[in-house]
Amino acid sequence: MSNALAATLILLTLVVLALIFAVIALARQIGILHTRLAPAGALMTTAGPKLGEKITNMSIPDIHGKPVAIGATGTGINAAKAQLLLFVSPTCPICKELVPTAKSMALSDNVDLIFGSDGGQAETHLQYIEKMKLQDYPYIVSLELGMRFEVGKLPYAVLIDETGALRSKGLVNSREHLESLVTAMQSGYESIQDYLVKKGHLEGSAS
């Protein structure tokens, strides 16, 4: 009886050890896979201004009537900052999730954050501004602004560099999408996708 019990315990110990090694190996493979995964990039669209195009001569009043300059002239005291335009809607659930991310990026990446929307009751937008704590950011309700960048779906983001050139744009459904716009600008590529394609070509040439 004791021999059978001892044999069972040894067998169970071996099974547990095998499971532990299997979990460690699986965790290692997951880590390798994670490092190989490409960063998620915003969904680029061909509509609207082309990347590299200068965005100038745009001055549109925000919801309070204060003029907001879009493009090379800058919006704030520091006109040498890039501008991140995030097109949102009070009825868009994904937009609500991205607003805190955009606010955090504006601080960490030192960009001027501007919110845009293309219509609706002013009272609805004012309530949205209060709810999402956007009082410190320009909030523009304008068909003209949306048409200028040919915004079709929300949330949509546009990044204009300090010289007024359009550096990146696209549909942004997650934090990674939004961050990819700034990453693309800082890397000097048109988009994360463009970076990966060109990097692959360089690596292929080197090999």
Question: What is the residue-averaged pLDDT of the chain?
Answer: 79
Going from the C-alpha of 146 to that of each of 33, 141, 180, the distances in angstroms are: 39, 9, 21
Residue 124 has pLDDT above 90, yes or no: yes
Residues 81 and 32 in one domain: no
pLDDT of 46 reads: 61
Q: Which of 21-35, 156-170, 192-206 has the lowest mean pLDDT?
A: 192-206
Average pLDDT over residues 135-156: 92
Percent of the chain whose predicted confidence (pLDDT) is above 90: 36
Confidence of residue 77 (pLDDT cuts 50, 70, 90): very low
Is residue 47 included in any domain, yes or no?
no
Question: Which domain does 98 fall in, by range?
Answer: 58-198
Instruction: Give domain status of residue 136, yes or no.
Output: yes
Q: Does 74 share its domain with 112? A: yes
The answer to the question of residue 53 being in a domain is no
DSSP secondary structure letters along 58-97: EEEE-TTS-EEEESTT-SSS-TTS-EEEEE--TT-HHHHH
Residue 135 lies in a domain: yes
At residue 65 the predicted structure's pLDDT band, cuts being 50, 70 and 90, is very high
Instruction: Return all residues near 56 (Cβ < 8 A) that are at least 6 apart.
Output: 71, 72, 73, 164
1 and 87 belong to one structural domain: no
What does the pLDDT average to over 15-20? 78
CATH, residue 182? 3.40.30.10
Residues 119 and 162 in one domain: yes
Residues 17 and 63 reside in one and the same domain: no
Q: Is the pLDDT of residue 199 over 70?
A: no
Structural domain count, the chain: 2
Same domain for 62 and 33? Answer: no
User: Are 110 and 175 within one domain?
Assistant: yes
* 12 and 65 inside one domain: no
pLDDT digits (tens, 9 = 90+) for 25-51: 776 655 444 333 344 555 556 667 888
In this predicted structure, what is the pLDDT of residue 73? 52
One domain, residues 144 and 189: yes
pLDDT of residue 43: 57
* 81 & 171 share domain: yes
Q: Does the residue 45 lie in any domain?
A: no
> Residue 202 above 70 pLDDT?
no
